[in-house]
Amino acid sequence: MTSTAQPEVLRAPLVVEFPFTRSLGPVQSAFLSGLRDRTVLGVRTGDGKVLVPPVEYDPVTAEEIRDLVEVGATGTVTTWAWNPEPRRGQPLDTPFAWVLVTLDGADTALLHALDAPGPDAVHSGMRVRVRWAEEREGAITDIACFEPYEGDDAPSQPVPHSGEFEDAVTGIVAPARLDYTYSPGGAQTRYINALAERRTVGERCPSCRKVYIPPRGACPTCGVATEEAVEVGPAGTVTTYCIVNIKAKNLDIEVPYVYAHIALDGADLALHGRIGGIPYDQVRMGLRVEPVWTEGGRYPDHYRPTGEPDADYETYKEMI
Amino acid sequence: MRPPIRDIAVVAFGQTDHTRTSDEQSEVEMLMPVLHQVLDATGLKTSDIGFTCSGSSDYLAGRAFSFTMALDGVGAWPPISESHVEMDGAWALYEAWTKLLTGEADTALVYAYGKSSPGSVRDVLTRQLDPYYVAPLWPDSVALAALQAQALIDGGHTDEPALAGVAARSRESATGNPHAQLRGSVPHGDYVVNPLRTGDCPPIGDGAAAVILAAGDRARELCERPAWIRGIDHRIEAHSLGVRDLTDSPSTRLAAENAGAFERPVDTAELHAPFTSQEVVLRRALSLGDDVDINPSGGPLAANPVMAAGLIRIGEAAARIHGGNSRRALAHATSGPCLQQNLVAVLEGEDQR
């Protein structure tokens, strides 16, 4: 038993990345297919308003709406904000203005970017037009951005549109990536640091006296902080297990293999680990195992039988 | 509003110190002292709590089901009656309030936490936007607030010096708040996204808060001067920013009306306005005059732990009543871009009915 010293905080990059794949409804499909074909569509609500970008349900009455119209590719800025430092994923990588633009013939505004030389060149009420992306695929980014428009032609009126396009897009893939710096906090840092020294250290609840492993800084039963470090193991007992028959992507382990709950000696909670060094069909409840570290490993690669007689059921039944 | 069928009060409130980073602590380690603070204040044990509800976001943590880890801090075994909202804790409090109204429980523990430090909160919040037309453009939270601020300026409702005044007043008020992250004189700074400067934006930080609710006589046993929730309501507006009038907040006004906020004047208002310009919108929507003490805690401009900042508004308002510094207070919480969703609660001391 040792008292817990304040650890050096562990940190590691954590990237959460996902290609969000979404199907489109009829109105969204028409709108994004239209953008691909340099046509901007809106939808007319029951009370005659034209919404651009269009939605499938009236935001006021919640009625389904399908009455598509084509609006202009020119419009008027209703509000704006100058973005001096573009961020990853934003439409332009040089300073630009965020704008809400009411396209000619529309009653609501579309959010996008405006390419302008500086904030002095932008004001609410200014006229702008769509700058189309060179390659278009049926996404909001088919509008590369807006640009100032000096033309003095009269704003166009919306005209009915069937919403039908050849090879209409029916879905979008929107990649999302967020970067984090993960830090596991005090208890788990102490646990991970000890593992790197090939020691397994849990924490004892001051109230119920149980030793939790891996420790998370709190006793889930009593809801109080666990601070007293307790070294457990290295050996333990298999309390229950399963046989894995499906090979996970990027995992260099032959199937079938056994994944088990292991109650380390001195711990009051079982942790998870793979069982090796024994045929998968000979693993059993009560099997005594010990951790195996690989060269340079910061945590046990797997657990293998110690060769001791099996543990009596009564000794681990509380931890199943 | 029809009077609630049971009287329910906030009987305890606690919050962490709000800091730029808290990487020496996991979420549950950050949260636990706050949970014990409210339990100690009432003398309740975790096993005494009838219902537990929390608010947090996996996107802040970058991990799925991150809230389940925080449950270790509330003594979730043997099984407790528990729920979670992937929103600010103010909405968790709303759920707990309805639970108490049903009579299924007499006490509730509500907590919320958020660590913005591991990621980039401006980018993280883009993931709550319309995924078809808006999120692929990655408009960050400051950019969207700046569009709203410019609309207010164009509409003649405010100007940049007035916004700087909101920032200065908030951080001056925060000098009396030992938990605040930004206190006292803070430079108004450069533009982040014009017309908003660093001073118009909330600090980015980590923190947690907890509240205990109790019904009827149980509340009187647990707290000398309970902060009775006289009404609470929340409303949402159209998702699409271009459909809304960004200078107004009809959802706040409707929520306030349903919560009974306009029946009698309030003396204190804790407003969840992370950006200076949003305080302008909320003051108008709530018809708050200069005689109302706005954000005596410093508000979210002094500390804005995402997912906890709205619950903290209710807690701060309640604490003013607990301490006898307010007779009738309004608390507001928001969620989503440009004040999309709004919750209003009205709290009173016992002597006000």
Residue B252 confidence (pLDDT): 98
Residue B109 confidence (pLDDT): 98
Of B311, B310, B331, which Cα lies nearest the Cα of B320? B331
Residue A4 has pLDDT above 60, yes or no: no
pTM, two decimals, is 0.94
Q: Is the peptide bond before B131 cis (omega within 30 degrees of 0)?
A: no
Per the rule left: phi > 0, alpha: psi between -120 and 50, beta: everything else, A55 is: beta
CA pair distance A144, A131, nearest whole angstrom:
6
CA pair distance B280, B274, nearest whole angstrom:
11
CA pair distance A28, A36, nearest whole angstrom:
12
In sign, the C-alpha dihedral spanning B294, B296, B298, B303 is: negative
Residue A2 confidence (pLDDT): 44
List the structure tokens of B11.
């009987």
Reported as type and span, the H/E element at residue A103 is strand A96-103
Residue A252 confidence (pLDDT): 82
- Residue with token string 């305080």: B279
- Residue with token string 């009404």: B231
CA pair distance A280, A290, nearest whole angstrom:
16
Residue A6 confidence (pLDDT): 55
Residues of chain B neighbouring A53 (CB-CB closer than 8 A):
133, 240, 242
Per the rule left: phi > 0, alpha: psi between -120 and 50, beta: everything else, A64 is: beta
Reported ipTM: the value is 0.94
Residue B3 confidence (pLDDT): 60
The minimal CB distance from B194 to the residues A82, A139, A188 is found for A82
Q: How far is B351 from chain A (nearest CA, A)?
A: 36
pLDDT-above-90 percentage for chain A:
85
What is the average pLDDT score of chain B? 95
Q: What is the mean pLDDT of residues B275-303?
A: 97
A39 touches B: beta carbon within 8 Å? no
- Residue with token string 């871009």: B337
CA pair distance A279, A99, nearest whole angstrom:
65
Q: Which residues are CB-contacts of B165 (< 8 A; sequence separation ≥ 6)?
A: none
Residue B97 has pLDDT above 60, yes or no: yes
CA A154 to chain centre: 46
B196 touches A: beta carbon within 8 Å? yes
CA pair distance B227, B269, nearest whole angstrom:
14
Q: What is the mean pLDDT of residues A109-120?
A: 98
Residue ranges of B 4-33 with Cβ closer than 8 A to chain A:
23-29, 32
Q: How does pLDDT run across B110-160, given as a tens digit for each residue?
A: 999 999 999 999 999 999 999 999 999 999 999 999 999 999 999 999 999
Q: What is the mean pLDDT of residues B280-299?
A: 97
DSSP string for residues in A228-271? EEEEE-SSEEEEEEEEE-SPPTT---PSSEEEEEEEETT-SS-E
Q: How far is B25 from chain A (nearest CA, A)?
A: 4
Residue A255 has pLDDT above 60, yes or no: yes
Q: How does pLDDT run across B157-215, given as a tens digit for each residue?
A: 999 999 999 999 999 999 999 999 999 999 999 999 999 999 999 999 999 999 999 99
Q: Which of A56-60, A136-140, A148-152, A250-254 has the lowest mean pLDDT?
A: A250-254
